[in-house]
Amino acid sequence: MKITSAHGGGGKLMNVLIHDIFVKHFANETLSAMEDAAILPAPGARLAFTTDSFVVTPLFFPGGDIGRLAVCGTVNDLLMRGATPRYLSVGFILEDGLDTDALERVALSMKKAADEAGVAIVAGDTKVVEGRGGLYINTSGIGLVETALNISAHNAADGDAVLLSGYLGNHHACVQSERLGIQNAIQSDCAPLNGMVLGLLNAGVEVHALRDITRGGLASVLSEIAEASNVGIHLEGGLTFADPEVSGFCDILGLDPLYMGNEGKLVAFIPQRDALAALTVVRNARYGQNAQIIGTVRADDGLSVTIRTRSGGTRRIESLLGEGLPRIC
Amino acid sequence: MKITSAHGGGGKLMNVLIHDIFVKHFANETLSAMEDAAILPAPGARLAFTTDSFVVTPLFFPGGDIGRLAVCGTVNDLLMRGATPRYLSVGFILEDGLDTDALERVALSMKKAADEAGVAIVAGDTKVVEGRGGLYINTSGIGLVETALNISAHNAADGDAVLLSGYLGNHHACVQSERLGIQNAIQSDCAPLNGMVLGLLNAGVEVHALRDITRGGLASVLSEIAEASNVGIHLEGGLTFADPEVSGFCDILGLDPLYMGNEGKLVAFIPQRDALAALTVVRNARYGQNAQIIGTVRADDGLSVTIRTRSGGTRRIESLLGEGLPRIC
């Protein structure tokens, strides 16, 4: 069945669509009640709240789809503040002509990702616009924060180790390969990072700052943290930032993994005394086996982000200017 | 300046856009920190959480614009559960070619509506897609609920008075007039309903159910409540549902105000003993001067919604089938 504008009218057809696809797969008491807003318990005094819209094309790609991306992206944003993700809302904007089978695949994928991340989808909305069978998804999320935690992009401090949770560029390379029709084995890294983040907190590791590395890549994230924390960040030389398949892809297309988007990678700023413990926790977590310490924070380095070159000098790394890959997430 | 896909890349251009328009106008400490998620105090054990996407076209119309609509729609959904609205997230999906002046007008309008509704915009996201200068907005919202309250579409009860907060159809008629180029004085009713809802709660009126009357119109809302509460709803005859200007518009185009979308109207289900007190509160509230009691709940009426006809009989009212006006909100 194809979506038509009548599915967005607020009447019976929209209700049938919502029940047959969303309520069916996301089923939980809160959502099924179909109220204007979900009422939720929040045992704890502080909330984390975040929002993200997803416009990735194509809707399905190796390693994920727009639904998994939407759940993981919002869950990861909550985790980056040290919050335990709890509740998600989902807003669908459907284009005329979207196949309801595709929509159902997306909904199923969201449910699976939500289960993995331990979140409940408790509120939703559906709109229909003219178009060519496309789909946009907004996910907003609520997490609970232990009162004592203060993890923030403003808190990177002199001497902190910079921990990168894995190789870069897989999501970007996967989406671009799909669009160009390039055959390879590259999969998106799209994943919820609960395991490694809550693992760090449960292990008693002091975490100063956390960021997931999405649009703009590691270069842009480090530039933002350097500015927010008023520090310099110095990366080691000779590091491997991408796996062999993505490295080959980058060589052919002239891409730099430092500027490529990811959907299941983070960078953590950890005091030196806890750095090795943190590395062990992340490497033992799901999605963290290729974690490495990539650099150090220097308070006297101005706001620059630098990397050691092969010749022993240093090169400045700037934030991405303009676009990376449009509609990568 | 026109939006280009580079504004969605996650790099410097996107940051400039976000700072120059969103952070500037929405300015508050939480949002300005530009973290992955906002950390918020939540003094109270229960939250209300809701989401809505807005795709209205045209972006600007008499009485409002997509930004005011996005704030009011989400604020009203929180109020319908008896929650005090507190926090909003905003997700923008911008189409290539959108004028940044228009975007700034929308942002300003959102700030003004948020101030009126007493909510802070604490989280945001921006994406860019190809298109023709359009704009979609998702707003998700968090409200705080007093633990004792249980206002729900499932709680309409035998004998309840049905209170309608004002005349119907203005938003629908306004948007349709704009699209058809019809000159008239009809304005959208787009408004945050904090005053009348919190007024009812503060006055100690017992409220069983509340719904704002958006897509699908009053007919669809009453059908949903009848089904959710397992009751019949009987409307009086001889009521005036639209103001003279909208009535004239309906007569010309063959529209029925009961099926037209609104953005600042609600229906409340109140025990008879509190009905007159409730009517007084709503009539004295901003946006409620034309409130009226329109009917009664009958537990023995099956699930039907009926209205008394001029000849003294009754006519059944069904939920909207298919579409009303596409992209009305």
The ipTM assigned to this model is 0.92
Tokens read off for A180: 């160009």
- Contacts A10 to B, Cβ<8 Å: 214-217, 220, 261, 320, 324
- The 8-class DSSP code of residue B257 comes to G
Question: pLDDT value at position A17?
Answer: 80
Can you give the pLDDT at residue A204?
Answer: 94
Instruction: Label residue B320 by pLDDT band (50, 70, 90).
Output: confident
Q: What is the pLDDT of residue A243?
A: 98
Pair of tokens at residue A207: 């975490």
Q: What is the mean pLDDT of residues A27-52?
A: 80
Q: Which helix (DSSP H) or strand (DSSP E) does residue B52 occupy?
A: strand B46-54
Which tokens hold the place of A45?
Answer: 């005094």
Give the gyration radius of chain B's Cα atoms.
21
**A6 has pLDDT over 80:** no
| Closest C-alpha to B220, from B323, B318, B329, B81 | B318
Taking Cα atoms as reference points, which of A52, A95, A225, A102 lies closest to residue A152? A225
Asked if B40 and A47 come within 8 Å (Cβ–Cβ), the reply is yes
Mean pLDDT of A234-248: 96
For the entire predicted model, the pTM comes to 0.93
pLDDT(A295) > 80? yes
B160: confidence class by pLDDT, cuts 50, 70, 90: very high
| Structure token pair of residue B296 | 């009664």
The domains of chain B are located at 33-145, 161-317
Tokens at residue A274, please?
A: 């806890």
Query: B197 pLDDT exceeds 80?
Result: yes
Distance from CA of A318 to the nearest CA of B (A): 9
β-strand partners of A218: none
Q: For residues B310 and B34, give the distance between their C-alpha atoms in angstroms, rounded to a whole number.
A: 60
The distance of A22 to chain B (nearest Cα, Å) reads 15
Q: Which residues does A300 contact at the CB level (< 8 Å), separation at least 6?
A: A158, A232
Alpha-carbon distance B175 to B11, whole Å? 36
For B:18-77, CB contacts with A below 8 A are 33-55, 76-77
| Tokens (6 digits) for A205 | 């590791």
Q: Which residues of B touch A141 (CB under 8 A)?
A: 37
Token digits of residue A120: 């409940």
In the numeric block, which tokens belong to residue B81?
Answer: 């559960």
B27 vs B244: which has the higher pLDDT: B244
Any CB–CB contact under 8 A between B10 and chain A?
yes
**Cross-strand pairs, A144:** A47, A84
Minimum-distance CB partner of B36 among A14, A41, A50: A50
CA distances to A112, B69, B257 from B62, in Å: 44, 12, 19
Q: Does A303 touch chain B (CB under 8 A)?
A: no
What's residue A301's pLDDT?
Answer: 64
φ, ψ (nearest 5 deg) of residue B23: -65, -40
Among the residue ranges B21-35, B182-196, B297-311, the one predicted with the least confidence is B21-35
The yes-or-no verdict on residue B148 having pLDDT over 90 is: no
Cβ–Cβ under 8 Å, residues B3 and A323:
no
The answer to whether A91 contacts B53, with C-beta atoms less than 8 Å apart, is yes
Neighbours of B62 (CB within 10 A): 15
Q: Which of A316, A210, A306, A215 is nearest to A260 (CA)?
A: A215
Mean pLDDT of A246-262: 96
Q: Any chain A CB within 8 A of the CB of B236?
A: no
Would the CATH topology of B33-145 be identical to that of B161-317?
Answer: no
Question: Would the CB atoms of B136 and A136 count as touching at under 8 Å?
Answer: yes
Pairwise CB contact (< 8 Å): B89 & A49: yes
Query: Strands, E, within chain A: which ranges?
Result: 38-41, 46-54, 60-61, 64-65, 84-95, 120-129, 135-145, 161-164, 209-212, 232-235, 266-270, 292-298, 305-308, 314-317
pLDDT more than 90, % of chain A: 73
Chain A nearest-CA residue for B212: A36
CATH 3.40.50.150 fits B161-317, yes or no: no
CB-CB neighbors (< 8 A) of A153 in chain B: 33-36
**Amino acid of residue B136:** Y
DSSP secondary structure, B136-202, as one string: EEEEEEEEEE-TT----TT---TT-EEEE-S---HHHHHHHHHHHT------------HHHHHHHHH
Average pLDDT, chain A: 92
Share of chain B above pLDDT 90, in %: 73
What are the phi and psi torsion angles at A137 (to 5°)? -130, 130
- What pLDDT score does B85 carry? 95
Q: Is the pLDDT of residue B12 over 70?
A: yes
For B224, other C-beta atoms within 10 Å of its C-beta total: 18
- Mean pLDDT in residue range B67-77: 97
Choosing among A13, A89, A138, A227, which should be mutated to test the B contact, i.e. which has the most B CBs within 10 A? A138
Q: What is the CA radius of gyration of chain A?
A: 21
User: What's the whole-number mean pLDDT along residues B67-84?
Assistant: 96
B85 prior amide bond cis, ω within 30 = no
Which residues on neighbouring strands pair with residue A55, listed in sequence order? Answer: none
Q: Which among A10, A36, A54 is the nearest to B50, CB-wise?
A: A36
Mutate to test the interface with B, among A29, A35, A66, A90 (most CBs of B within 10 A): A35
B16 touches chain A (CB under 8 A): no
At residue B327, what are phi and psi to the nearest 5 degrees?
55, 45
A142 CB-contact burial (10 Å; exposed 0-12 / middle 13-18 / buried 19+): buried
What mean pLDDT is predicted for residues B183-204? Answer: 97
CB-based contacts of B235, cutoff 8 Å, min separation 6: B162, B222, B294, B295, B305, B306, B307, B308, B317
CA distance B136 to B53: 7
Q: Are residues A47 and B47, on separate chains, in Cβ contact within 8 Å?
A: yes
> What is residue A156's predicted lDDT score, i.e. its pLDDT?
96
pLDDT at B180 over 90: yes
A291 CA to centre of own chain: 17
Q: Using CA atoms, how far apart are residues B34 and A204, in angstroms rounded to an integer? A: 26
Task: Quote the percentage of chain B above a pLDDT of 70.
Answer: 98
When the pLDDT of each residue in chain B is averaged and rounded to a whole number, the result is 92
Q: Residue A131: left (phi > 0), alpha (psi -120 to 50), or beta?
A: left
Please report residues of A whose CB lies closer than 8 A to that of B80: 35-37
Q: Helix, strand, coil % (nearest 5) of chain A? A: 35, 25, 40
Question: Residue A53 above 80 pLDDT?
Answer: yes
Question: What is the spatial distance between Cα A28 and Cα A26, in angstroms, rounded to a whole number?
Answer: 6
Q: What would the mean pLDDT of A300-315 be, rounded to a whole number?
A: 85
Three-class DSSP category at B78: helix
Residue linked to tokens 């105090």: B41
Nearest to A45 by CA among B139, B146, B47: B47
Q: What is the pLDDT of residue B45?
A: 66
Which residue carries 């919002």 as its tokens?
A: A74
Tell whether B135 is within 8 A of chain A (Cβ).
no
Amino acid letter for position A86: R
> pLDDT tens-digit profile of A103-155?
999 999 999 999 999 999 999 998 999 888 999 999 999 999 887 788 999 99
Interface touch B124/A51, C-beta < 8 Å: yes
User: Which CATH architecture does the domain made up of A33-145 adopt?
Assistant: 2-Layer Sandwich (3.30)
Cβ partners under 8 Å of residue B262, min gap 6: B168, B169, B170, B171, B172, B189, B212, B213, B214, B217
Residue B271, pLDDT above cutoff 90: yes
Amino acid at A145: V
Residue A25 has a pLDDT of: 81
* Contact between chains at A43 and B39 (C-beta distance less than 8 A): no
Query: Which candidate in A3, A4, A30, A39 is best for mutational testing of the B interface (most B CBs within 10 A)?
Result: A39
The better pLDDT of the pair A40, B304 is held by B304
Let me know how long chain A is.
329
User: Of A273-282, B135-144, B305-314, which range is least confident?
Assistant: B305-314
**B301 has a pLDDT exceeding 70:** no
Q: Can you tell me the distance from the alpha carbon of A166 to that of A63, in angstroms, rounded to the nearest whole number?
A: 16
Whether A297 contacts A232, CB under 8 Å = yes
